[in-house]
Amino acid sequence: MTRATKRTIIKTVGGIICALIAAYAVISASQTPVPEVRVVTATAIPSEFVSPTQPAPTLSIEASSVSLATTPSMATTPTTIHTVTPEAVDVPVEIPLSRDSGVELFREDFENGSHNWRTDVGTWEIRSENDNQFLCVRTDNGYGFASPIQLENWEDFTLEMDAIIVTSATDNGAGQVLIRFNDFVPTYAYSFRESYSEFGKTVSRESGYKYLGDSSLGLGSGQWSHVRIEVVENQLTLSLNGIQALGAVDSEASVDSGSIALGAGIGVPQSGVYWEVCYDNILVSEN
């Protein structure tokens, strides 16, 4: 499949991705801070946020690329699932403030739990290994996100974090981080798999998702990766483990400010298929 075809297909799923984020906004807006709950049971996306004219997507992946498709015949493609046992997961080493980073705006290592975060779809829990705690999400129905309870309006900033793909259905779903996120669209999105990274933008429920760029570099499987995302005006830059992987420019520059959200999701629910991603050492600094 050519890159042009992939881009065209990716755009077709924009409506659903945008609708899911809109659903998250409605669900999370009604929440109030509560004492930390170790596990949050999955909740369904309200039907009114699913576009009736948008066919449900299925996802497929090649060795070094990913594509989204609405072809009905692809729904019967066997799903490949990669699982990493907890014993095989290395514990991330806390990353200090980067040498070239500005004033620290936000930091979270989850050592005190997740009571400063609100979550929606999926099963969320704090896990602990070797005296280190981190936040994990497992979802088999839609995309779920966690965001700080206190949303900020950061403009130009750098987000650094450690992330690991624990379990993935490689042809269905992705890990996803929202940049300049508010309780409404538009927002920038960084999506990742083992061998794929992508920048995009959810514009609105009507106009859907806009593709901004992709790379064949991903997070791999079963190992922690250090992710660094810089957003300056309308430019986004991604570095993975110190290597620049992707740059993108938003020609419309319609996302001015916002916070962050961490998540993962499944494009089309399938029995026994889910995505599981963990995050740690979140750091936001001013550019």
- Angle separating helix axes 14-29 and 3-12, nearest 10 degrees: 40
Alpha helices in the chain (DSSP H): 3-12, 14-29
Look at strands 132-139 and 275-286 and give their pairing.
antiparallel
pLDDT tens, position by position, 25-75: 544 444 444 334 333 333 333 322 232 233 333 333 233 233 222 222 222
Number of Cβ within 10 Å of residue 210's Cβ equals 21
pLDDT tens, position by position, 248-286: 999 988 899 999 999 998 877 777 788 999 999 999 999
Burial 247-264 (b: 16+ CB within 10 A, else e): ebebeeeebeebbbbbbb
**Residue 146: which pLDDT band, with cuts at 50, 70 and 90?**
very high
Rounded CA-CA distance 162/164 in Å is 7
Residue 122 near residue 39, CB atoms below 8 Å: no
Rounded CA-CA distance 85/83 in Å is 6
pTM comes to 0.68
